[in-house]
């Protein structure tokens, strides 16, 4: 029985070693396919990494950054882009008069002159020039204004150029201006 026990023990050790060898080979093969720096699966692993990096990499036009950050009086931090947007909005009497219907709350506290400028701002957005020196100088001082059409050219096309929202807002502003100052604000005085 001693010889049989020894043979059984050898077979058991050989089987255990063979099993361990198979497990190591399978684990090594799995690492080759799934590990990014591995051999056989290297191309697939690196392609996935590159694709992932490309998906999160900023576009070329997003690479430009503004270096200035401003801290407001309340301690809030704003970027240069936010400040630039706020400054552009401040360049208008009513920044969104071309996109939303105005209500009384939008014009509360505005003078007849401001209402006149706000109404003409709707036309100026489309490049209308003005016969009034006061209006023309006012809009030429705005960064967004680009004069393109004489007053007559614009007036002939205004029905096709202005949106329904802009037409309604222009009429709303005209009525509000006349309510404050009958006959409206007198330009060039």
What would the two tokens of residue 189 be? 């005085």
DSSP type of residue 35? S
Digit-coded pLDDT (tens) for 37-64: 544 544 444 444 454 544 455 555 555 5
Q: Which CATH architecture has domain 104-180?
A: Up-down Bundle (1.20)
Please list the alpha-helical segments (H only) found in 125-163: 133-140, 151-161
* This prediction's pTM: 0.55
Digit-coded pLDDT (tens) for 164-179: 999 999 999 999 999 9
The ranges assigned to domains in the chain are 2-53, 104-180
pLDDT tier for residue 154 given thresholds of 50, 70 and 90? very high
Minimal CA–CA distance to 128: which of 185, 164, 166? 166
What would the two tokens of residue 52 be? 């992932």
Contacts of 168 (CB under 8 A, 6+ apart): 101
Q: At residue 128, what are phi and psi to the nearest 5 degrees? A: -70, 135
Contacts of 93 (CB under 8 A, 6+ apart): 110, 114, 117, 118, 121
Q: For the chain, what's the residue count?
A: 189
Does residue 19 register a pLDDT over 50?
yes
Share of the chain above pLDDT 90, in %: 48
Minimal CA–CA distance to 129: which of 152, 151, 153? 151
pLDDT tier for residue 89 given thresholds of 50, 70 and 90? low
- 41 within 8 A of 33, measured Cβ to Cβ: yes
What would the two tokens of residue 62 be? 């997003």
């Amino acid at each position: 029985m001693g010889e049989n026990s020894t043979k059984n023990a050898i077979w058991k050790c050989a089987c255990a070693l063979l099993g361990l060898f198979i497990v190591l080979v399978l684990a090594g093969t799995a690492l080759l396919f799934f590990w990014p720096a591995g051999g056989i699966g290297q191309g697939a692993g690196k392609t996935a990494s590159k694709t992932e990096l490309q998906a999160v990499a900023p576009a070329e036009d997003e690479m430009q950054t503004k270096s200035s950050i401003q801290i407001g009086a309340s301690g809030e931090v704003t970027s240069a882009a936010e400040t630039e947007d706020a400054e552009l909005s401040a360049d208008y009497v009513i920044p969104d008069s071309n996109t939303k219907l105005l209500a009384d709350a939008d014009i509360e506290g505005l003078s007849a002159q401001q209402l006149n400028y706000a109404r003409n701002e709707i036309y100026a957005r489309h490049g209308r020039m003005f016969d009034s020196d006061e209006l023309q100088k006012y809009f030429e001082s705005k960064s967004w204004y680009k004069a393109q059409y004489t007053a007559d050219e614009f007036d002939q096309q205004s029905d096709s150029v202005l949106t329904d929202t802009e037409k309604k807002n222009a009429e709303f502003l005209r009525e509000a201006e006349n309510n404050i100052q009958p006959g409206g604000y007198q330009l060039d005085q």
